[in-house]
Amino acid sequence: MKQYETMEALRSACLNCRACGLCEGRTHVVFGVGDPTADILFVGEGPGAQEDLQGIPFVGRAGQLLDLYLKAFEIERDRVYIANIVKCRPPKNRDPRPEEETACMPWLERQIELIEPRVIVCLGRIAAMKLIKPDFRIMKEHGLWFERNGIPITATLHPAALLRDPSKKPLTFEDFKSIRSHPALAGRL
């Protein structure tokens, strides 16, 4: 992936990717959106129905909830970067398979190299298990800080999980407080 020296070059290549079976069912590759020099990188699981139709991550119901959190913490969506572990929609929104995650990771790894974010925020357990550690326990370990290749990384609950169980919303609120006040973001955003 090193040959792709800009996000736009990487995007163009990714839009033609057929490295795993998820390419068969997609309408659009959902590469990622935002500022290619962002301080914060959010990483979800994979596109849902709306995302697949529009080619943009987090634009469906879960995305609208994410937008509310961003607004509440005065984080502009245009100034962060938002991506997913897999960039094509799994059928019926099933979990991505290990081989699909593995096939797709080089795109995300290169996105991280190009962005050089100050912090990474995993949205949900799938991203946390892939980016933090395989045995990550989302209910036990959300809001804690880890490090990935020198970059501070944390996870919060997936907004879709908050839609299923709104009583968990205060947990994500606390996680966002911790994100917003991370020393690496002091005086930024």
Residues making contact with ligand URA (CB under 6 A): 44-48, 51, 57-58, 60, 62-63, 84, 160
Which residue sits closest to ligand URA, CB atoms considered?
Answer: 44
Q: Which stretch binds ligand SF4 (CB under 6 A): 18-26, 63-71, 132-140, 159-167?
A: 18-26
- With respect to ligand SF4, which residue has the nearer C-beta, 19 or 33? 19
Binding partner of 104, given ligand SF4, ligand URA, none, CB within 5-8 angstroms per partner class? ligand SF4
126 binds ligand SF4 (CB under 6 A): no
Task: Single out the residue of 82, 92, 165, 159 nearest to residue 124, CA to CA.
Answer: 159
In angstroms, what is the minimal distance from the CB of 126 to ligand URA?
7
Identify any residues that bridge with 119 across adjacent strands, giving them in sequence order.
40
User: Could you say which of 20, 114, 122, 162 contacts ligand SF4 (CB under 6 A)?
Assistant: 20
Task: Single out the residue of 137, 132, 141, 148 nearest to residue 184, CA to CA.
Answer: 148
Q: Which stretch binds ligand SF4 (CB under 6 A): 20-28, 50-58, 70-78, 143-151?
A: 20-28
